Structure formats: C-alpha cells, structure tokens
Amino acid sequence: MTPSLCYLDTPMRRRWWGWLGLLVGIAALGLGLRAFWIEPASLRVERYVLPLERWPSRLNGLRIAVLADLHVGSPWNGIDKLRRIVDETNAAGADLVLLAGDYVIKGIPGGTFVPPEETAAVLRGLHAPLGVYAVLGNHDWWFDVGRVQRALAGAGITTLEDQAIPIDGPHGRFWLAGVSDFWEGRHDVHGALAEVTDDAPVVAFTHNPDVFPRMPERLALTIAGHTHGGQVCLPLVGRLIVPSRYGQRYAIGHVVEDGRHLFVTPGLGTSIVPVRFRVPPEISVVELRAAP
C-alpha cells in the first residue's frame, strides 16, 4: 500500500510548525524585552521647531527644555537615571527649563518609592540662562503636594501654580505662566494671566493638556505632559494609555487648534503599567520661532 502524500508530509509540516512557533516565541520575547526594559530604560533628546503666530521675531530661537512625568522610582527610572537626565538636559543648551509635574510615583509594579527630597536634590543640578521653573502634577497632589513643592523650593526651583512672571532675556521680555493641574488644582488660567501687565508674548505650561481648550488666544504656546504619549503605540491601533477626556487628541506633540498652539511631551517615566513601546522617554527641546 502506497502512503499518501499527506502522510509523508506530516513530519515536515510538524517541523515547519515547530520553527514557526520558535520564531513567534523569540519575537514575543524581543517585544517584551523592548517594552518592559529596553525602551523604559532608554533616553533621547528630541528637538522641535515650532512656528507660532503670536511669537515675535526678536525672540526667534528661544529654546525650552521640557521635562515631564519624571516618576522617579518607576522601573528603570531611578536616581541614577535622573542624574543622566539632568546631564543631558544641561548639555542640550536650552535657554529655559520647564518641569511639567509628576515627580513621584507610588504603587507601580517593579517600582521603588523615591522621596521628593532626593529627587529635588538631583534636579538642583539643572541650569539654564533664563531659569528652571516647575508646576505640579496629579501624582504630586495624591502624594503630598506641599511636601513636593517644599522639596523643589529647597532645591532653588520656583513652582508656578496659577501664577505668571516676566522673563527678561537678551532679546526682550516674555511672560511665563504656570497653570495648576487640571485634575487636582484650581487650573485658574485667568488668574494666572491677570498677572501679565504688558503685551509681551506669553508661554504657559501645565501638567495636564486637558486644560488647553480653556486657554485664550492671548497665549503664544501652551506646554504640557501627563499623557506619556500613550506609553504604548501600536500600528493601526494607536496609543493605548492616554489619561485624557479627549482621547488621543492631545496625546503627544504639536497640536494647533483655532490658531492656538499646544505642545505635549511624551515624558520620562511610567505609571499605571511599567511599560513603554514605540514611545521612548524623552527630553523635549522646543525652539520657538515667529510664523511666516
């Protein structure tokens, strides 16, 4: 009796399925290593040029380094990583450094709580010609907002919560307005802008971009963090973890609506789940220019 071709092919088919299963396993392992280790442990400096309608040409080239969602103590993101962040930020040569909230983290799997005083002691090393300023995020409020603010103040970092101050640089004045967290703070935009006393351009920064629809046209730019860029970005699916009432609308990058400008940095740490995939930790350096 002659064996069927199907019967003769069965061992070969089994070998092919075995190889396929092995390749799938290797790919899954590689993706897991990237998402849970390689990418969260990485760090990049990304530069952007933003043309703004309400930015004067005399201030062209102003560079702002934005650090958000440090979440010091999240996996692969401890004090040593923070020192590297500080060094890389200083080397970027920004004129101004803005810290957009969420310095602490508690309860994330694989993480270790780091007191805000330890974090602030490292952040003390940041320097820029026009200063280093901060706002507070929802995690800072959930932990102990007063303690976090005192730690930053002890490191010589000014926190702007619904306040505005003039910044006088070599090419003229602009205003910096800090707006408190959308979830936990008053986010008193109008109260902050009431402190602006002339017609110089205004840059606002805050933790949560969900306040952006409330920002008036008077602002040249709003800067925010909070979303982590979704932390996980899958092809054809999009960004999976965006804690925003607007979904992916303000998840990351430069957003322009009705002539108003928003920039959202993907941040540096992790929360909710200790994973990043196709959204690496980033020091964002934005260069402001007058739109043509």
Per-residue pLDDT tens, the chain, 292 aa: give them: 444 444 445 766 666 655 555 455 544 455 556 666 699 999 999 999 999 999 999 999 999 999 999 999 999 999 999 999 999 999 999 999 999 999 999 888 889 999 999 999 999 999 999 999 999 999 999 999 999 999 999 999 999 999 999 999 998 999 999 999 999 999 999 999 999 999 999 999 999 999 999 999 999 999 999 999 999 999 989 999 999 999 999 999 999 999 999 999 999 999 988 999 999 999 999 999 999 8
Question: How many CB atoms are located within 10 Å of the residue 235 CB?
Answer: 6
pLDDT of residue 5: 45
Three-state SS for 86? helix
- pLDDT of 252: 98
Longest CA span, the chain: 99
- Structural domains in the chain plus CATH codes: 42-290 (3.60.21.10)
Instruction: Give the model's pLDDT for residue 15.
Output: 63
User: What's the rounded Cα separation, in Å, for the pair 270 and 118?
Assistant: 18
Q: Sign of dihedral through CA atoms 229, 235, 241, 245?
A: positive
Task: Give ∠ CA 279-281-284 in degrees, rounded to 5.
Answer: 100
Decide: 154 and 286 in contact? Cβ < 8 Å.
Answer: no
DSSP state of 41: H
Cα 188 from Cα 174, distance rounded (Å): 20
